[in-house]
């Protein structure tokens, strides 16, 4: 059965998928063959849990939101909107990877900036504040690098394809002789008639 025929698992299949997933997460190697079969039937399940960019975003959102579920959901919505804006409707997989990197570094840089402000507010030691500032600077550089890569990629994708070089014209033997004769004819004007006629005859042969 094709994977397109089963876009969404039935409740029974979802129950089995959850049970097999739990066994695999617990380290049960006997669950792997059936897990592979289920992931082949429902690739979206594997794509979701195997998306490390998505998992990384979840880690940063957890750090930023903590137990605040409203902030957690708001950050997820903001991140989705940022990705959509940066993708601009493109389905290019390479652009998608670049946008993931920009979104993640944006999240990390802004989280660390917020932590810098909280550190100052709570009067942390200058040494700890300096450590936090160093981490923030690293995150900001990573974000700027990701942005630069995205801009360069957009330019590369938008550039028109390079024109193929024009092939040199292929001349027949006669055409080649005539071209040489025409090019040399100007040099014969100052020669005596006999020499000029002989040179032209040599060129035409």
pLDDT of residue 204: 53
Span between the terminal Cα atoms of the chain, in Å:
75
CA distance 93 to 24: 29
The residue with tokens 């024109």 is 163
pLDDT for res 159? 77
Q: How open is the CA angle 94-99-102, to the nearest 5 degrees?
A: 135
Name, in order, each residue with C-beta under 8 angstroms of 75's C-beta and a sequence gap of 6 or more: 61, 64, 65, 107
Q: What is the pLDDT along the chain (205 residues), one digit of tens a residue?
A: 333 444 688 999 999 999 999 999 999 999 999 999 999 999 888 888 889 999 999 999 999 999 999 999 999 999 999 999 999 888 899 999 999 999 999 999 999 999 988 888 888 888 888 998 999 999 999 999 999 999 999 999 887 776 666 665 555 566 656 665 665 555 445 545 544 455 455 545 5
Q: Where in the chain are the domains?
A: 1-50, 52-159, 173-204
pTM for this predicted structure: 0.66
**CA gap 98, 81 in Å, rounded:** 15
């Amino acid at each position: 059965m094709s994977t397109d025929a089963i876009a969404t698992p039935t409740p029974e299949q979802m129950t089995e998928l959850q049970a097999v997933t739990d066994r695999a997460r617990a380290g049960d190697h006997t669950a792997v063959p059936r897990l592979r079969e289920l992931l082949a039937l429902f690739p979206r399940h594997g794509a979701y849990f195997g998306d490390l960019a998505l998992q990384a975003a979840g880690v940063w959102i957890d750090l930023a939101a903590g137990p605040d579920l409203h902030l957690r959901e708001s950050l997820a919505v903001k991140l989705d909107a940022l990705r959509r804006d940066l993708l601009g409707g493109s389905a290019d997989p390479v652009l998608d990877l670049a946008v993931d990197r920009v979104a993640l570094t944006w999240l990390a840089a802004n989280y660390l900036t917020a932590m810098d402000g909280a550190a100052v507010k709570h009067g942390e030691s200058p040494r700890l504040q300096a450590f936090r500032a160093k981490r923030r600077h690293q995150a900001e550089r990573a974000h700027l690098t990701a942005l630069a890569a995205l801009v360069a990629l957009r330019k590369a994708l938008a550039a028109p394809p390079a024109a193929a070089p024009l092939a040199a014209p292929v001349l027949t033997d006669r055409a080649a002789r005539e071209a040489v004769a025409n090019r040399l004819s100007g040099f014969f004007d100052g020669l005596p008639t006999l020499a000029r006629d002989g040179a032209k005859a040599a060129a035409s042969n």
